[in-house]
Amino acid sequence: MELNDKRVVLGVTGGIAAYKAAELVRLLGKQGADVQVAMTEGATHFVTATTFQALSGKPVYLDQWDARMPNAMAHIDLSRQADLIVIAPASADFLARIANGMADDLLATMVLARNCPLLVAPAMNRQMWENPATQRNVAQLRADGVIVLGPASGEQACGEVGAGRMLEPEQIAEEVIAFCAPKVLAGRKLLLTAGPTFEAIDPVRGITNLSSGRMGYAIARAARHAGAGVTLVSGPVGFASPQGVDRINVRSALEMHAAVMGQAATADIFIGVAAVADYRVANAAEHKLKKDTGGIPPIELVENPDILAEVAALKNGPFCVGFAAESRNLEEYAQTKRRKKNIPLIAGNLIQDGFGGDDNRIVLFDEAGSHPLTLASKSVLARQLIEHIAQMLKGKD
Ligand code: PMT
């Protein structure tokens, strides 16, 4: 779980997006966060405190004079018990109040009294968002170190279309996870490949493999959480991009090669996670091959460029990490690949563990030897790989 033991105060203010905060409580809780909800009076007109109590398993705080706090200082106690405060939705009125240091209800007082980070997810009508007063308040909050999440653009509850929609609960939860992750790659640029390649035989057929893209996408997400700027060069897979990651879609190994070489010179780290076809079809047909025209068509193969080896050979190129999927002799084959491609680190996985599924078993091989990681989900392994890379880079800085 990515928010284990994190104590989050979720402040809900008055706006129709308050109903989405219920889902946010669930998502944060699912990641192991201990969520305490506090609502403004306005929020209670949209959703009841009972909903949040049921989802968080805790009574909700509604006003400053709540008698449950023995010292009658709910604002101090709640903010001292929090690792971070998230306000979602944050109404225009609430942003205005906290931008001006007001303390006229429990939530605003808690924000003023806090000694932990504050994240706000604005939600309001587009005119209210665009209003210079709101823009001034948001600029002030940013200058004060408050993290502003969104807002998104789109259809609004009032029927208008524009900027001001609250980010979806999944997006807010993802930003909270990213915020809480240790920034071991802060300021680094990371480039990686993921998924399979597809080598055309004709316009509708081709040679590909069973890589789902899961491992590469998990690494892209973990690297972004670790503070890196991430560019993901992706073969054809069915996933949405991880939040905050730049993605370049490619199909063939040649397209992947061109995309990577266009970015590699400015990257600090390159990770080749993709299962790149070693060969492509030299005589790919322009039109669909027909079965009844003269026997089995010959398929001629030519070698694809080795993207990882080429990046590793760049002068002043990035720190390179490879992957090796093997069906046997993992250490021998992975270490041979690492030395041949002249890279400092390679992650070896056995084919039956690595392809397609959610879990994987990885062994990291570097000059010092092998570092086995225990069987885990690809997102857990991705975090461990990023930490290992950060440690190796620390030694080089
Ligand atoms: O996508 P998933 O379903 O989650 O599965 C993940 C995975 C099993 C595909 C992944 O973990 C993995 O092991 N990827 C590498 C697959 C492999 O064995 O590649 P390879 O041995 O052909 O190549 C070794 C390294 O060189 C890899 O880093 C590869 O990206 C790179 N390479 C290979 C050929 C080529 N022409 N260019 C390359 O850059």
pLDDT of residue 73: 77
Q: Ligand 1 centre from 271 Cα, in Å?
A: 10
| Ligand 1 near 304 CB (within 6 A) | yes
DSSP state of 65: T
State the Cα–Cα distance between residues 215 and 239, nearest whole angstrom.
12
| Ligand 1 near 280 CB (within 6 A) | no
Query: Could you tell me if 199 and 218 are in contact, meaning their C-beta atoms sit under 8 angstroms apart?
Result: no
Q: Ligand 1 centre from 239 Cα, in Å?
A: 18
Q: Ligand 1 centre from 299 Cα, in Å?
A: 23
Q: Ligand 1 centre from 322 Cα, in Å?
A: 7
Q: Ligand 1 centre from 297 Cα, in Å?
A: 29
| Ligand 1 near 337 CB (within 6 A) | yes
Single-letter amino acid, residue 19: Y
**In CATH, what class is 7-180?**
alpha beta
Which residue's CA is the nearest one to ligand 1's atom 21?
324
Q: Give, for ligand 1, the residue of 233, 250, 257, 308 to mutate: max count of ligand atoms closer than 8 Å to Cβ.
A: 308
Q: What is the pTM of this model?
A: 0.94
Each domain of the chain, given as residue ranges in start order, spans 7-180, 189-396
Query: Could you tell me if 91 and 153 are in contact, meaning their C-beta atoms sit under 8 angstroms apart?
Result: no
Atom of ligand 1 at shortest range from CA of 271: 28
In order along its 397 residues, the chain shows pLDDT tens digits of 999 989 999 999 999 999 999 999 999 999 999 999 999 999 999 999 999 999 999 999 998 887 777 676 777 888 888 999 999 999 999 999 999 999 999 999 999 999 999 999 999 999 999 999 999 999 999 999 999 999 999 988 888 899 999 999 999 999 999 999 999 999 999 999 999 999 999 999 999 999 999 999 999 999 999 999 999 999 999 999 999 999 999 999 999 999 999 999 999 999 999 999 999 999 999 999 988 777 788 899 999 999 999 999 999 999 999 999 999 999 999 999 999 999 999 999 988 766 778 899 999 999 999 999 999 999 999 999 999 999 999 977 7
Q: Of these residues, 116, 158, 180, 320, which one is catalytic?
A: 158
Atom of ligand 1 at shortest range from CA of 260: 39
| Ligand 1 near 322 CB (within 6 A) | yes
SS3 label, residue 113: helix
State the Cα–Cα distance between residues 10 and 60, nearest whole angstrom.
10
| Ligand 1 near 310 CB (within 6 A) | no
| Ligand 1 near 264 CB (within 6 A) | no
Q: Give, for ligand 1, the residue of 212, 279, 323 to mutate: max count of ligand atoms closer than 8 Å to Cβ.
A: 323
Burial label, 221 (beta-carbon count in 10 A; 0-12, 13-18, 19+): buried
Q: Ligand 1 centre from 325 Cα, in Å?
A: 6
SS3 label, residue 5: coil
Whether 189-396 and 7-180 are alike in CATH topology: the answer is yes
| Ligand 1 near 354 CB (within 6 A) | yes
Q: Is 116 a catalytic residue?
A: no
| Ligand 1 near 356 CB (within 6 A) | yes
Count CB atoms within 10 A of the CB of residue 108. Answer: 23
pLDDT of residue 78: 85
| Ligand 1 near 212 CB (within 6 A) | yes
The answer as to CATH 3.40.50.10300 being correct for domain 189-396 is: yes
The phi and psi torsions of 349 (rounded to 5 degrees) equal -140, 145
| Ligand 1 near 306 CB (within 6 A) | yes
Query: Could you tell me if 396 and 268 are in contact, meaning their C-beta atoms sit under 8 angstroms apart?
Result: no
pLDDT of residue 254: 98
Atom of ligand 1 at shortest range from CA of 209: 9
